[in-house]
Amino acid sequence: MPLHASHPAVKILSPEDIHRYMDPLSDMLVKSVNLGAAIRFVMPFSKMDARAYWWNEVLPLVQSKQHTLFAAFENQFPVGSVQLIEQMPMNQPHRCEVSKLIVHPDHRRKGIAANLMGALEAHANSLKKSLITLDTKTGDNAERLYKSLGFNAAGVIPNFALDADGKGYHGTTYMYKELRSHA
């Protein structure tokens, strides 16, 4: 999928970039979770919680090259991010997984998520991956986005996770997309 020139630039973040952009990445995560994003966390969710996530979980995975972190930039600050999980079990070297597609609430509906996913898919192709998988909240806007990008639903698990407000459970839809064959 080509990136649109009118949309923010997407780049792969290095460990140094994660340090440099810790505050805007954390702000984006806090605002998204506190507006109900179904990305693992529950409210109340603080900037300290977000910093701990980026620092203790994402940074080590990026440093060890198990994850690639992509960010979309506008005015030299990240306004969206997504992770590609590259480290898979030995019997799944052809597969990778999407994790935590986040767009800052003030920058949604601008094609940023699609651009992030396009960059992720291009990178997966460069790694000779032939299958991308993900899970997303059933019925959420993200599910519609993934379908529009060519992902197929493999199935739904009801009551899979707590809603961000902690008041109920939602289902998750497992999805996949086959990339061109590298065999």
If pLDDT is split at 50, 70 and 90, which confidence band does 180 have?
confident
| HSE-CB for 80 with a 13 A CA cutoff | 25
- Predicted confidence at residue 2, as pLDDT, reads 42
Q: Which residue has the tokens 């997966």?
A: 124
Question: pLDDT tens, 76-129?
Answer: 999 999 999 999 999 999 999 999 999 999 999 999 999 999 999 999 999 999
The alpha carbon dihedral of 26, 15, 111, 154 has a sign of: negative
If pLDDT is split at 50, 70 and 90, which confidence band does 181 have?
low
Average pLDDT over residues 42-47: 96
- Domain assignments of the chain as residue spans, ordered by start: 9-133
| Mean model confidence pLDDT for the chain | 94
Flag whether pLDDT at 182 surpasses 80. no
* CATH superfamily, with its number, for domain 9-133: Gcn5-related N-acetyltransferase (GNAT) (3.40.630.30)
**Both structure tokens of 158:** 């009801």
- Predicted confidence at residue 6, as pLDDT, reads 59
If pLDDT is split at 50, 70 and 90, which confidence band does 8 have?
confident
165 beta partners? none
Adjacency order of strands within the sheet including 95-103? 9-13, 67-74, 77-85, 95-103, 131-137, 169-178, 152-162
